[in-house]
C-alpha cells in the first residue's frame, strides 16, 4: 500500500528558487515522513541499493536525467509520493495512503505536441507520482530507461523524462495496477498557468492535490547570436551557389500517382499470406551471399510465396558466379530466383565509401540500382517488396510476418550490430523541430545534408525505443518492406537530391511529403555485419 512518505530531490539542502514551496508538502501532510534528497544523497542511494544501475546513472550528461531515474528508484524502493521542487501541495495526500495502485496523471493537453508528433495518444506527468513500495511497474520503467539509454546525450524527454515514461505506461500489461488520471490531480495548469478545460478523469478525479509551476530549470532554448545568424546566411549563400540540380516537389508530383500511393491497404491475413518479392542489391557481396540465402530460407514464411531478385553490378569478387550457384541450388524451393545486372560505372575504393564528399555520387548510384530492380524485377503478381541488404547477417525467423502484421505500406525494423545497441542504419530517422540555419548549412556537403550521428534535430530508432511504432521522416534500406502499390504509383529512390536528401532518405521524405508516413519499429531488431 502507498506509505505516508514524501520524497523531493534537489542539488543541495536549500531550495533558493521561488517557483515551488517544499514547506507546503510538510505542513499539509502531518504524520508523513518528508525527505529531501540532494544529488549527493541520490548518488549514495543508487550506489548502495542499485549498484547495477550506477554506470547508467553516472553516464547521463544532465542532472535532470539522474533526477528522473532517481525518482523512479525511490518510489520502487520506498514507495510514497514523489514531487518536483517546483510544485505546491494544495491538499493533504491522506486519501491516497493505502491504495495498492501506482497513481499517475497526464500533463495538460497543451503540452502534448511533441508526443502527438510521435504518434503517442497521451503524455503522462512524472513530476508528482504516488506508489506502493516494490511495485513491479517501476521495474518495468527502470528496464525502459536501460533500453532508452542511447537517447541520453540528446533527448532528456525520451531517455528518462515524460516521453519515455508515457511509453512505459502504454506498454505496461497490467493496466488495473495503475490509477491513471487527467492532469487535474497533480498538474491542473499548464506552462502559461492556464487551467485545463478538459473534464477530470480518474478514480480520484474529485481531488486537486498539487500544482506544478513548470520552472524547467534544466531546459534552455538558446537563441542565435547576430554573428551566428550572419554565419548562417553566408553558409546558405555558399551552398546555394554550388548546389547541384535536384528533384523538386513539382517534378516529383508529376511522376507519382497519389491515389494509388494512398490507396487503402488490405489487412494482413496470416491464413492467406501475400506474395513477396525479395529485392537484394549486390556489389562485391561474395562474403555474404551464402549467409543471405540461409537467412531467407530460414524464414517461417511459405517459400512458394517468395520470389528472390538479385541485382548485381560492378563486382570484382565473383559475386555473379556465386549468385548463379545459389540460384541453381535453391530456385525450385521458391516462387523463383532471378539475377539482374546493372553497372553503375562508379569506381570507389571500399575505404572511401563513407567519406561525405562521395555520398551524392555513391548513393545516387545505389538509387539507380534500386530503381533498376523496381523497373525490371517487379511483376504483376508481387504484392509486397522486401528490400534486404546482402550484408544483413541475422534476422528473426518471423521477421517478415512481424512486418506484414503492422499493416503499414512502408515499414522498417531497427538494424543493429548488437542486441540493444545503437542503430546501424542511421538513415532511419525522425526529424524533430527545425535546425538553425547556421547549424543546418554547416553540414551541407556536395548538395546533401550530412549531419553527425548526434545531430540534435534527428531521432534515430535507438533514440525511440520507448515507442512500439515510430513515424519516420526518412528510411534506410538494410531491410525495408514496401507495398508494391507504392512503387507502382511511381515512388522510386531519387538519384539526385530531393530536399537535400538522396536515395532511401529521399524516398522516405517523398513518401511522408505525399501523405504516406513510413513506420519504424525501434524494438524489432535485425543484425548487420560490423563494418
Quick check: is 249 in a domain?
Answer: no
How far apart CA 46 and CA 425 sit, in angstroms, is 34
> Please, which residues bridge with residue 458 across strands?
431
Clarify whether residues 205 and 314 are in a common domain. no
pLDDT above 80 for 286: yes
Clarify whether residues 299 and 373 are in a common domain. yes
**DSSP, res 274:** P
Which tens digits make up the pLDDT trace of 440-485?
Answer: 999 999 999 999 999 999 999 999 999 999 999 999 999 999 999 9
Crossing angle between the packed helical segments 162-171 and 136-147, to the nearest 10 degrees = 120
Quick check: is 405 in a domain?
Answer: yes
Clarify whether residues 343 and 470 are in a common domain. yes
Which pLDDT score, from 0 to 100, does residue 220 have?
A: 57
Which pLDDT score, from 0 to 100, does residue 531 have?
A: 76
How far apart CA 207 and CA 205 sit, in angstroms, is 5
Clarify whether residues 317 and 411 are in a common domain. yes
Number of domains composing the chain? 2
How far apart CA 171 and CA 213 sit, in angstroms, is 29
Which tens digits make up the pLDDT trace of 91-108?
Answer: 999 999 999 999 999 999
Clarify whether residues 163 and 302 are in a common domain. no
- What is the pLDDT of the chain when averaged over all its residues? 95
Query: Given the DSSP bridges, would you call strands 519-528 and 392-394 parallel, antiparallel or unpaired?
Result: antiparallel
Quick check: is 268 in a domain?
Answer: no
User: What are the residues whose beta carbons fall under 8 Å from the beta carbon of 11, sequence distance 6 or more?
Assistant: 38, 39, 63
Clarify whether residues 10 and 91 are in a common domain. yes
Clarify whether residues 302 and 188 are in a common domain. no
Residue 272 C-alpha cell reads as 492467406
Quick check: is 346 in a domain?
Answer: yes
Q: Single out the residue in 212, 238, 253 at which a domain terminates.
A: 212
Quick check: is 224 in a domain?
Answer: no
Q: Single out the residue in 193, 212, 231 at which a domain terminates.
A: 212
Quick check: is 398 in a domain?
Answer: yes
Clarify whether residues 208 and 344 are in a common domain. no
How far apart CA 466 and CA 167 sit, in angstroms, is 5
How far apart CA 516 and CA 507 sit, in angstroms, is 11
Element (H, E) at 75: helix 63-77
Q: Single out the residue in 183, 212, 241 at which a domain terminates.
A: 212
How far apart CA 70 and CA 10 sit, in angstroms, is 11
Domain of 432, in residue numbers: 274-528
User: What are the residues whose beta carbons fall under 8 Å from the beta carbon of 377, sequence distance 6 or more?
Assistant: 277, 279, 309, 311, 338, 340
Clarify whether residues 284 and 208 are in a common domain. no
Clarify whether residues 138 and 29 are in a common domain. yes
pLDDT band of residue 377 (cuts 50, 70, 90) is very high
The CATH number of the domain where 298 resides is what? 3.90.550.10
Clarify whether residues 354 and 476 are in a common domain. yes
Quick check: is 45 in a domain?
Answer: yes
Quick check: is 361 in a domain?
Answer: yes
pLDDT above 60 for 218: no
Specify the pTM: 0.94
Clarify whether residues 373 and 491 are in a common domain. yes
The CA-CA-CA angle for residues 366, 505, 432, to 5°, reads 160
Which tens digits make up the pLDDT trace of 40-52?
Answer: 999 999 999 999 9
User: What are the residues whose beta carbons fall under 8 Å from the beta carbon of 530, sequence distance 6 or more?
Assistant: 417
Percent of the chain having pLDDT more than 90?
88
How far apart CA 490 and CA 255 sit, in angstroms, is 6
What is the mean pLDDT of the segment spanning 371-392?
Answer: 98
Amino acid at each position: 500500500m502507498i506509505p505516508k512518505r514524501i520524497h523531493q530531490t534537489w542539488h543541495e539542502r536549500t531550495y533558493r528558487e521561488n517557483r515551488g514551496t517544499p514547506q507546503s508538502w510538510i505542513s499539509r501532510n502531518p504524520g508523513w515522513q518528508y525527505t529531501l534528497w540532494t544529488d549527493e544523497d541520490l548518488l549514495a542511494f543508487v550506489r548502495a541499493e542499485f549498484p547495477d544501475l550506477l554506470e547508467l546513472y553516472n553516464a547521463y550528461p544532465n542532472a535532470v536525467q539522474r533526477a528522473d531515474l532517481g525518482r523512479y528508484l525511490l518510489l520502487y524502493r520506498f514507495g510514497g509520493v514523489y514531487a518536483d521542487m517546483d510544485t505546491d501541495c494544495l491538499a493533504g495526500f491522506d486519501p491516497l495512503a493505502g491504495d495498492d495502485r501506482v497513481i499517475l496523471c497526464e500533463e495538460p493537453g497543451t503540452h502534448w505536441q511533441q508526443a502527438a508528433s510521435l504518434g503517442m495518444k497521451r503524455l503522462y506527468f512524472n513530476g508528482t507520482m504516488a506508489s506502493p513500495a516494490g511495485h513491479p511497474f517501476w521495474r518495468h520503467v527502470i528496464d525502459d530507461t536501460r533500453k532508452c539509454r542511447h537517447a541520453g546525450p540528446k533527448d532528456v524527454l525520451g531517455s528518462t523524462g515524460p516521453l519515455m515514461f508515457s511509453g512505459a505506461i502504454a506498454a505496461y500489461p497490467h493496466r488495473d495496477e495503475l490509477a491513471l488520471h487527467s492532469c487535474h490531480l497533480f498538474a491542473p495548469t499548464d506552462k502559461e498557468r492556464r487551467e485545463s478545460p478538459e473534464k477530470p478523469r480518474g478514480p480520484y478525479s474529485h481531488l486537486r492535490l498539487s500544482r506544478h509551476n513548470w520552472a524547467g530549470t534544466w531546459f534552455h532554448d538558446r537563441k542565435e547570436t547576430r554573428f551566428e545568424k550572419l554565419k548562417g546566411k553566408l553558409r546558405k549563400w555558399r551552398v546555394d551557389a554550388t548546389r547541384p540540380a535536384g528533384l523538386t516537389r513539382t517534378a516529383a508530383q508529376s511522376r507519382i500517382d497519389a491515389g494509388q500511393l494512398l490507396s487503402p491497404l488490405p489487412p494482413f491475413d496470416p491464413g492467406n499470406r501475400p506474395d513477396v518479392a525479395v529485392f537484394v542489391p549486390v556489389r562485391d557481396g561474395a562474403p555474404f551471399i551464402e549467409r543471405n540465402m540461409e537467412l531467407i530460407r530460414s524464414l517461417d514464411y511459405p517459400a512458394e510465396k517468395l520470389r528472390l531478385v538479385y541485382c548485381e553490378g560492378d563486382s570484382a569478387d565473383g559475386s555473379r558466379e556465386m549468385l548463379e550457384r545459389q540460384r541453381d541450388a535453391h530456385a525450385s524451393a521458391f516462387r523463383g530466383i532471378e539475377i539482374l545486372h546493372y553497372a553503375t560505372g562508379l569506381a570507389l575504393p571500399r575505404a572511401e565509401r563513407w567519406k561525405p564528399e562521395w555520398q551524392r555520387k555513391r548513393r545516387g548510384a545505389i538509387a539507380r540500382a534500386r530503381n533498376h530492380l523496381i523497373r525490371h524485377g517487379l511483376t504483376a503478381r508481387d504484392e509486397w517488396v522486401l528490400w534486404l541488404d546482402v550484408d544483413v547477417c541475422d534476422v528473426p525467423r518471423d521477421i517478415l510476418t512481424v512486418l506484414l502484421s503492422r499493416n503499414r505500406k512502408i515499414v522498417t525494423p531497427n538494424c543493429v550490430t548488437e542486441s540493444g545497441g545503437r542503430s546501424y542504419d542511421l538513415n532511419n530517422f525522425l526529424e524533430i523541430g527545425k535546425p538553425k540555419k547556421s547549424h543546418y548549412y554547416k553540414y551541407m556537403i556536395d548538395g546533401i545534408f550530412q549531419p553527425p550521428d548526434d545531430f540534435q534535430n534527428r531521432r534515430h530508432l535507438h533514440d525511440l525505443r520507448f515507442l512500439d511504432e515510430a513515424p519516420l521522416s526518412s528510411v534506410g534500406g538494410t531491410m525495408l518492406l514496401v507495398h508494391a502499390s507504392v512503387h507502382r504509383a511511381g515512388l522510386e529512390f531519387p538519384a539526385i537530391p530531393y530536399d537535400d536528401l538522396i536515395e532511401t532518405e529521399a524516398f522516405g521524405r517523398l513518401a511522408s511529403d505525399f501523405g504516406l508516413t513510413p513506420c519504424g519499429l525501434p524494438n524489432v531488431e535485425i543484425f548487420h555485419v560490423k563494418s
